[in-house]
Amino acid sequence: MFSRSAPPGGEQRLLTRIWTGLILLLITIAAILAPLRVVLGADLIPHAALLDALLTLLFAADIAVNAAESRRTGLPYGRLLLLSDILAAIPFQLAGGYPWLLFVRLFKLARVAKAMAVWRQQHLHRWNALRLVYFIYWLAIAVHWLATGWLSLRGLYPGADRWTLYLRSLYWCISTITTIGYGDITPANNSQIVYAIVVMIFGVGMYGYVIANISTIIGNLQPARTRYLANMEKLGAFMKSREIPPAMQRRIRDFYGYVWEHRLGYDETSIVQGLPPGLLVEVSLFLKRDIIQKVPFLKGAGDDLIKEIALVMHPVVYTPGDIVFRAGEPAGDMYFISRGHCEVIGTDGLSIVATLREGDFFGEIALLEHRPRSASVRAATYCDLYRLDKESFDLVMAKFPDFAAHIGATSAGRRRQGEETAARRGPPR
């Protein structure tokens, strides 16, 4: 029921991903090589003509692939993306003396930005890690461009190795951007001074961005923990100001500690409530799979009953010693135990009539017989329970006779046991 089958069109999606990966790699190569070839000479890399032909061909094919993908998904191609794709696919190499024209290919970087935006949507839960990757990607490209810009201002000395010159430029650029600035390479004329100022300003801006985001990024790496700590701080201040007794404070802290540890502090009911009905059923089934597996008669029950129950059960947590309800109280719900132990306490308020464990349920007698609770129930450990309110209970009982029969049989057995115990004790003195 909970197994995940391969989604339809999975193969098609895999091919699209491989193609997108290839195109993004080629765009990145083009973005690295274009300024290098302009500054260091068109003959910098071997087989440049072949590479240009390949880029033109694959970028042209990419337009066809994107158009087909847009038709398949119903999402518009986007005018700006189409324009950048067309510009990048123009075979400028045929014009001759073309190195500067290679820059037009860089419009295709819009594809990278688009892919990043799509990944962001698809992997929101990993947004912090992605944000770091995106930042490093764009920073590396920017540093490379700035380094080649510096190299073009410095000029090539005759006889010098071109890659060594590039390396020196990169070294200058990184030491300036990181504000280390050793001063061993200094601007020699006005245009170089202006350029150096621009790079310094860029470096300061980048620093500002990193510092402003670093605490958010680190904090968001463990969002639940950050939220938990902030809430605990607020809670501590509140309890102090209201002079809550220390023992009670400890129990409140323990409760929140448990909830955060086991549920990451999220209230699953409120989170799933906003989902559309179909997805709501699927998510509820998934979230409650543990209890469905643990309750013996639910495990063997039909899909309809399980769906119905999964939708109407709500999680609640009790800490050790908490009274779930007391004997004689009016009844509004029954409970299933997902984790922990609960004790049924006799009417004397002391004796433990039964200890209920994972997969057991309680609170059904009062609902069935429309009378107050026959006994008190106390959490012996931390307990994760699922609560079923009376209205839903009546509904499920009326709709699913097997469920009603099982609850009825268990309840009758418990009542009989209760009567036998009472008879053994004799009349109250």
Mind giving me the DSSP string for 28-58? HHHHHHHHHHHHH-GGGSTTHHHHHHHHHHH
Q: Is 364 in the site for ligand CMP (CB under 6 A)?
A: yes
Decide whether 99 or 346 has the Cβ nearer to ligand CMP.
Answer: 346
Q: By CB under 6 A, what part of segment 326-345 binds ligand CMP?
A: 331, 344
As measured in angstroms, the least distance from the Cβ of 368 to ligand CMP is 8
- For residues 257 and 231, the answer to whether their CB atoms sit within 8 Å is no
Decide whether 267 or 329 has the Cβ nearer to ligand CMP.
Answer: 329
Decide whether 166 or 336 has the Cβ nearer to ligand CMP.
Answer: 336
Q: Residue 93 is encoded by which pair of tokens?
A: 């190499």
- For residues 123 and 168, the answer to whether their CB atoms sit within 8 Å is no
Q: Is 104 in the site for ligand CMP (CB under 6 A)?
A: no
As measured in angstroms, the least distance from the Cβ of 366 to ligand CMP is 3
Decide whether 285 or 345 has the Cβ nearer to ligand CMP.
Answer: 345
Q: Is 154 in the site for ligand CMP (CB under 6 A)?
A: no
Q: Residue 330 is encoded by which pair of tokens?
A: 């009016």
Decide whether 203 or 363 has the Cβ nearer to ligand CMP.
Answer: 363
Euclidean distance between the first and the last CA atom of the chain, given in angstroms as a whole number: 55
Residues 6+ apart with CB under 8 A from 344: 352, 353, 354, 355, 356, 362, 375, 376, 377
Q: Is 206 in the site for ligand CMP (CB under 6 A)?
A: no
**Near ligand CMP by CB under 6 A: residue from 151, 353, 379, 385:** 353
Neighbour tally for 329: CB within 10 Å: 12
Phi/psi for 9 (5° steps) reads: 75, 15
Q: By CB under 6 A, what part of segment 388-427 binds ligand CMP?
A: 414, 417-418
As measured in angstroms, the least distance from the Cβ of 334 to ligand CMP is 7
Decide whether 144 or 414 has the Cβ nearer to ligand CMP.
Answer: 414
Stretch that binds ligand CMP, among 5-13, 206-214, 276-284, 360-368 (CB under 6 A): 360-368
Rounded Cα–Cα distance for residues 323 and 369 (Å): 22
How big is the site for ligand CMP, counted in residues (CB under 6 A)? Answer: 16
For residue 288, give Cα distances in angstroms to 17, 42, 187, 363, 401. 33, 63, 67, 20, 22
Stretch that binds ligand CMP, among 136-144, 226-234, 268-276, 373-381 (CB under 6 A): 373-381
Query: Residue 147 class from Cβ within 10 Å (0-12 exposed, 13-18 middle, 19+ buried)?
Result: buried
**Near ligand CMP by CB under 6 A: residue from 87, 200, 354, 397:** 354
Rounded Cα–Cα distance for residues 349 and 363 (Å): 17
Q: Is 366 in the site for ligand CMP (CB under 6 A)?
A: yes
Rounded Cα–Cα distance for residues 198 and 78 (Å): 33
Residues 6+ apart with CB under 8 A from 145: 35
As measured in angstroms, the least distance from the Cβ of 387 to ligand CMP is 13
Stretch that binds ligand CMP, among 32-40, 210-218, 310-318, 359-367 (CB under 6 A): 359-367
As measured in angstroms, the least distance from the Cβ of 379 to ligand CMP is 13
As measured in angstroms, the least distance from the Cβ of 268 to ligand CMP is 25
Decide whether 60 or 327 has the Cβ nearer to ligand CMP.
Answer: 327
**Near ligand CMP by CB under 6 A: residue from 377, 380, 388, 407:** 377
Q: Is 375 in the site for ligand CMP (CB under 6 A)?
A: yes
- For residues 141 and 112, the answer to whether their CB atoms sit within 8 Å is no
Neighbour tally for 30: CB within 10 Å: 20
Q: One-letter amino acid identity for 308?
A: E
**Near ligand CMP by CB under 6 A: residue from 85, 374, 385, 388:** 374
**Near ligand CMP by CB under 6 A: residue from 373, 379, 392, 406:** 373
Query: Residue 19 class from Cβ within 10 Å (0-12 exposed, 13-18 middle, 19+ buried)?
Result: middle
- For residues 393 and 349, the answer to whether their CB atoms sit within 8 Å is no
Stretch that binds ligand CMP, among 45-53, 66-74, 358-366, 395-403 (CB under 6 A): 358-366
- For residues 386 and 426, the answer to whether their CB atoms sit within 8 Å is no
As measured in angstroms, the least distance from the Cβ of 302 to ligand CMP is 24
Contact positions toward ligand CMP, by CB under 6 A? 331, 344, 353-354, 362-366, 373-375, 377, 414, 417-418
